[in-house]
Amino acid sequence: MASGQSTTYLVVDGENLDATLGSSILGGRPTPEYRPRWERVLTFAGERFDQPVKGLFFLNASGGSLPMSFVQALLAIGFQPIPLAGDASEKVVDIGIKRMLEAIAENGGDVVLGSHDGDFFPEVERLLDLGRRVGLVAFREFVSSTLTALQPRGLEIHDLELDVQAFNVQLPRLRIIPLDEFDPVRYL
């Protein structure tokens, strides 16, 4: 255990990841075969940080309802869904995640954050300043530059598709490919 902590908190910004997958990668709402396999993300976080993982999946429930089949699936694989509601002008998921990251900073633990959102920079920076191990799972090409700027300070960035292998299908992504990862067969 790099930081001496006993738990890694996998904090997922479901709205952010789903929106990026849908609008920026797929060009529309993801169908079931194009959705991440969240149990793989939990497994990855546990293996990468070599300690128990507690999955916290944040959902916007401001509309008064929950996607119950999805919530039940999350519960079945070991996530704790956190459905938040608030005023239409509030970014309830972001506010909830910011509060959660602050609580982890105060109470101990490492973090794997599932998001691309630079709004979490202050909380991530604080966790790193406290010597916590912090990872980010996202689509690398969409990660906020404010977060990527924290890599030299210890932020680990892991691609949701390529590193975590959270998908059963290959996504139609256009990304910069390091030459040592280039597979010409993919383009035949």
At 92 the pLDDT is: 95
Residue 185 pLDDT > 50, yes or no? yes
Q: What is the mean pLDDT of the chain?
A: 92
The CA distance from 161 to 129, in Å, is 28
Question: In which order are the strands placed within the sheet that holds 79-84?
Answer: 79-84, 53-60, 8-13, 110-114, 134-138, 156-159
Q: 91-131 pLDDT, tens per residue?
A: 999 999 999 999 999 999 999 999 999 999 999 999 999 99
* For the chain, percent of residues with pLDDT exceeding 70: 97
At 183 the pLDDT is: 85
The CA distance from 166 to 67, in Å, is 21
Instruction: Return the ∠ at Cα 111 (arms to 118 and 101), rounded to 5°.
Output: 60
At 41 the pLDDT is: 97
Residue 2: pLDDT band (50, 70, 90) is very low
Which top CATH class is 8-187? alpha beta
At 175 the pLDDT is: 74
Q: 162-183 pLDDT, tens per residue?
A: 999 999 998 988 777 778 888 8
Residue 133 pLDDT > 80, yes or no? yes
At 3 the pLDDT is: 44
Taking each helix axis as running N to C, give the angle between helix 38-49 and helix 68-77, from 0 to 180 degrees, rounded to the nearest 10: 30
The values of phi and psi at residue 31, to 5°, are: -85, 165
At 64 the pLDDT is: 87
